[in-house]
Amino acid sequence: MQNFARKEAPELLSLLGVSHCYRRGKNVIPILIDVNLVIRRGHTCALVGASGSGKSTLLNMLGLLEKPTGGALTFKGHSVQNADADQLAHLRNREIGFVFQSFNLLPRLSVVDNVALPLSYRGVSRRQARRLALEQLALVGLADRAHCKPADLSGGQRQRVAIARALVGRPALVLADEPTGNLDSQTAKDIMALLLGLNREHGVTLVMVTHDVELAKQFDRRIQVIDGELHEEGAHGQP
């Protein structure tokens, strides 16, 4: 639980003058331009914007999956530009949980083994990883499905498994890219209630991409990505 005033919460990550470009043949295509953003611990932040505006690119940078092509990104005091691939993978495994629209579960593994995966990568024993995975499944209401395969579950249940997997390693940050995009509206509401409940009750910092303006209203901050630039509603909390 966070016992500090939310606004003064410590900084988790910061982007200073960050840009990102893709190369297409000889052309360099700018996607994000001079992005300045500070995410503080325990906050929830919604990223909204038109398709193709750069939301996933931004989320992948926040998740240390892609390095900025310019500017400075600092995660928990670590400078990301200067880190090598192994250091970034280590940070991601320890500190960041990902939830994707398409769940990204491994079909051959049972539900509990899917959830245990981030711990296995850390070298946690199989027995201990499974114990922690079961605890996490109980938290998302799926303890009784631990030994099913993902294919035996509904879409909403699969996303709960993915959320349990994202949280099992107690990450500082959970990133979700349109996590309700493949779900019907009631299931989407349930998944959102789960994610926001985890923020309130366990202080998980949550950054989520969504198309849904109503959903975004439930977040502490709403940031719109327009033509590669960020526009924050209310603009409080900006650096």
Ligand X SMILES: Nc1ncnc2c1ncn2[C@@H]1O[C@H](COP(=O)(O)OP(=O)(O)O)[C@@H](O)[C@H]1O
Catalog residues that contact ligand X under the rule CB under 6 A: 22, 31, 49, 51-57
What residue 136 binds from ligand X, Mg ion, none (CB within 5 to 8 A, per partner kind)?
A: none
What residue 221 binds from Mg ion, ligand X, none (CB within 5 to 8 A, per partner kind)?
A: none
Residues 117 and 135: their CA atoms lie apart, in Å, by 14
> Is residue 12 helix, strand or coil?
strand
Per-residue burial over 174-194, b = 16 or more CB atoms within 10 Å of its CB, e = otherwise? bbbbbbbebbeeebbebbbeb
Task: Name the one range near Mg ion by CB under 5 A: 37-45, 52-60, 133-141, 183-191.
Answer: 52-60
Of the candidates 39, 177, 157, 32, which has an alpha carbon nearest to the alpha carbon of residue 97?
177
Output 26 or 127, the one with its CB closest to ligand X: 26
User: Cβ of residue 36: shortest distance to Mg ion, in angstroms?
Assistant: 21
Output 51 or 186, the one with its CB closest to ligand X: 51
Residues 4 and 81: their CA atoms lie apart, in Å, by 30
Residue with tokens 């009784």: 144
What residue 4 binds from Mg ion, ligand X, none (CB within 5 to 8 A, per partner kind)?
A: none
* Number of residues this chain uses to bind Mg ion (CB under 5 A): 1
Output 63 or 118, the one with its CB closest to ligand X: 63
Q: Does 210 bind Mg ion (CB under 5 A)?
A: no
Residue in 56, 110, 157, 180 binding Mg ion, rule: CB under 5 A: 56
Burial of 8 (0-12, 13-18, 19+ CB in 10 A): exposed
Output 99 or 124, the one with its CB closest to ligand X: 99
How many CB atoms are closer than 10 A to CB 7? 10
Output 60 or 120, the one with its CB closest to ligand X: 60
Tokens representing 47? 């990223």
**Interacting residues with Mg ion between 118 and 177 (CB under 5 A):** none
Q: Provide the binding-site residues for Mg ion, judged by CB under 5 A.
A: 56
